[in-house]
Amino acid sequence: MRILSLAIIFLMLSKTFVTSEQIVLGLSQDEVAITANFDGSQILLFGAIQRDAPEPDGKMGVIITIAGPSKPIAVRKKEKRFGIWVNNQTVEVDAAPSFYAVATNAPFSEILLDVEDLRNKISIERAIRSVGAPMHIEDSQSFTEAVIRIRKDQKLYQLLESKILVDRNTLFRTAIDMPANLTEGDYFTQIFLTRDGKIVSQFDTTIDVKKVGLERFLFNLSRQNPLIYGLMSLAIAIFAGWVASSFFRYIRHT
């Protein structure tokens, strides 16, 4: 009974603690449209911390994460066979976000405790989950690391330490660059406010990334009506080839 009441008090305390500081967020855009000349996008995130009490003590941290849709991927490792390098071992990584960016206002380890990271899966390493690697593969860890390394190279995974600017401990803003090869879907965006490494407030929103216009039409048609798409591709290609060559014949004859 005593334990229960303690727990209730603790809950109430933590609740009041949470509400004393709150995040209010603004986004430069909540939609990213992939068009024909899409070569990446920059998203501006800005917000304020609302307080109904004087600012508590402790080092304040702001962490922003953007996670693209998670899809299982096959990670393949090349090995030398008969003198050439061929894909040999395959490990399935069950859930790896197609895009993941973490921005902070200070070095990551200074503003987030490891337990909080473990619970909320904030750092890039924790955001990727790999279970069920086949038993015969010894270092399945290296496959997960490869996902992070390759996607970091492609700017699909980004750790942006100290890239959030905080003004007078209330206003914050950052810009996150998204590369051209984005996967369509809802990009889950989270903002965490921390005090001494503990999360005190959290704000969630989504950014919609989608192909629009012709790009969307072609992509959808190719998946939903592949036969019609194929016939259309042939017709367009033949027509374009015919027009171009008759145009040149016309030029040569005049």
Kindly list the residues in this chain that would bind other proteins in the complex (CB under 8 A).
34-40, 71-80, 83-87, 90, 92, 142-143, 146-147, 149-151, 180-181, 211, 214-216, 218-219, 222-223, 226-227, 229-234, 236-238, 240-242, 244-246, 248
CB of 220 to other proteins, least distance (A): 9
- What six digits make up the tokens of 55? 């600012």
Question: Of all helices (H) and strands (E), which one includes residue 97?
Answer: strand 84-97
Show Cβ contacts of residue 35 under 8 Å, excluding neighbours closer than 6 positions. 211, 212, 213, 215
Distance of CA 73 to the CA centre of its chain: 15
Residue 162 or 220: the one with the smaller Cβ distance to other proteins is: 220
CB of 177 to other proteins, least distance (A): 14
For 178, phi and psi rounded to 5 degrees? -110, 130
CB of 100 to other proteins, least distance (A): 14
CB of 107 to other proteins, least distance (A): 28
Angle separating helix axes 213-224 and 226-253, nearest 10 degrees: 120
Residue 169 or 220: the one with the smaller Cβ distance to other proteins is: 220
Residue 94 or 110: the one with the smaller Cβ distance to other proteins is: 94
| Contact criterion met (CB below 8 Å) for 92 and 149 | no
For 33, phi and psi rounded to 5 degrees? -100, 120
Q: Which residues of 192-226 are buried (b: 16+ CB within 10 A; e: fewer)?
A: bbbbebbbbbeeeeebebebeeebeeeeeeeeeee
Q: What is the 3-state secondary structure (H, E, C) of 164-199?
A: CEEECCCEEEEEEEECCCCCCEEEEEEEEEEECCEE
CB of 78 to other proteins, least distance (A): 5
Residue 26 or 132: the one with the smaller Cβ distance to other proteins is: 132
Residue 8 or 214: the one with the smaller Cβ distance to other proteins is: 214
| Contact criterion met (CB below 8 Å) for 39 and 222 | no
Residue 58 or 72: the one with the smaller Cβ distance to other proteins is: 72
CB of 108 to other proteins, least distance (A): 25
